[in-house]
Amino acid sequence: MKNLSRFIGRLVVWFFILSVGGVILFRFLPVPFTPLMGIRTIQQVSSGEQPQLHHQWVSYDKISDHLKRAVLASEDQRFYTHHGFDRVEIQKAISEKKTGKRLRGASTITQQTAKNLFLWPRSSWFRKSLEAYFTFLIELVWPKERILEVYLNIMETGKGLYGAGAVANHHFNTTAEKLTAAQAALIAATLPNPLVYSSATPSPYMKKRQALILRQMRTVHLQEKNDTK
């Protein structure tokens, strides 16, 4: 029993050391690979497909401001005011669950970054607990600009596509820096499920989502202008 307790104790200590070390490390270094990339590659091989993995790191200042606004508008409009957890969206999700409505997503960009960078896609209470822990660490160590930079570089944007650079190249034959507002809104519209929705061949539903995000982007833009006054 003592040996088991010691083993668990050491495991907890090493997890703490490695998790804090990883968050500090990726505060400064580009992210070359994520667990999600590995999982998707294994899934492709298991289904007999040719594995596809396209990912290229693009620095924050080389990513279109249109894409930054589009992602903020569609995924996390209170990104700059919360500390990793959006209480307003969480409360809305709880209220809608009580009324029997379809469960809405309440994950912030920081939470999604934590999940994509350190964890796995399948949801469970255990993963959610780890996600909350990593979200707290990331918000503690990283500035908001870095969180958004990492998210835009590791988000899944299509089959075998990860990040702004890959989707700009493969779906629009351009660079992350030159994405237009319309293209950026289309990419953001796929983020709930980029394996079902495609920015390369958008459905009528996707085009409606694109139009909505474009309108919301104007609000985000005005907020940015007000913040600089």
Average pLDDT estimate for 77-87: 94
Record the tokens describing residue 112, joined without a space. 């999604």
82 domain residue, yes or no: yes
87 domain residue, yes or no: yes
pLDDT at 61: 97
pTM of the full structure: 0.91
Half-sphere exposure for 153 (CA within 13 Å, toward CB): 22
Q: What percent of the chain has pLDDT over 90?
A: 80
SS percent in the chain: helix, strand, coil, step 5: 65, 5, 35
pLDDT at 155: 98
Stronger pLDDT, 105 or 50, i.e. the higher one: 50
How many domains is the chain partitioned into structurally?
1
33 domain residue, yes or no: no
Name beta bridge partners: 162: 55, 156
Stronger pLDDT, 87 or 57, i.e. the higher one: 57
53 domain residue, yes or no: no
194 domain residue, yes or no: yes
Dihedral of alpha carbons 155, 123, 197, 110, sign: negative
Least confident of 56-65, 82-91, 170-179: 82-91
Q: What mean pLDDT, rounded, does the chain reach?
A: 91
19 domain residue, yes or no: no
pLDDT tier at 217, thresholds 50, 70, 90: very high
Q: What is the pLDDT of residues 89-104, one digit of tens each?
A: 878 777 766 666 555 4
**Distance, CA of 164 to CA of 70 (rounded, Å):** 12
State which residues form the domain around 191.
66-227
The answer to whether residue 130 scores a pLDDT higher than 50 is yes
Record the tokens describing residue 203, joined without a space. 């459905």
pLDDT at 228: 40
pLDDT at 220: 87
Q: What is the CATH number of the domain that holds 170?
A: 1.10.3810.10
166 domain residue, yes or no: yes
CA–CA distances in Å: residue 211 to residues 48, 86, 104, 180:
37, 25, 21, 14
pLDDT at 223: 63
**Distance, CA of 70 to CA of 217 (rounded, Å):** 6
Q: What is the pLDDT of residues 14-37, one digit of tens each?
A: 999 999 999 999 999 999 999 999
32 domain residue, yes or no: no
| End-to-end CA separation in angstroms for the chain | 62
CA–CA distances in Å: residue 199 to residues 76, 99, 162, 220:
20, 33, 13, 22
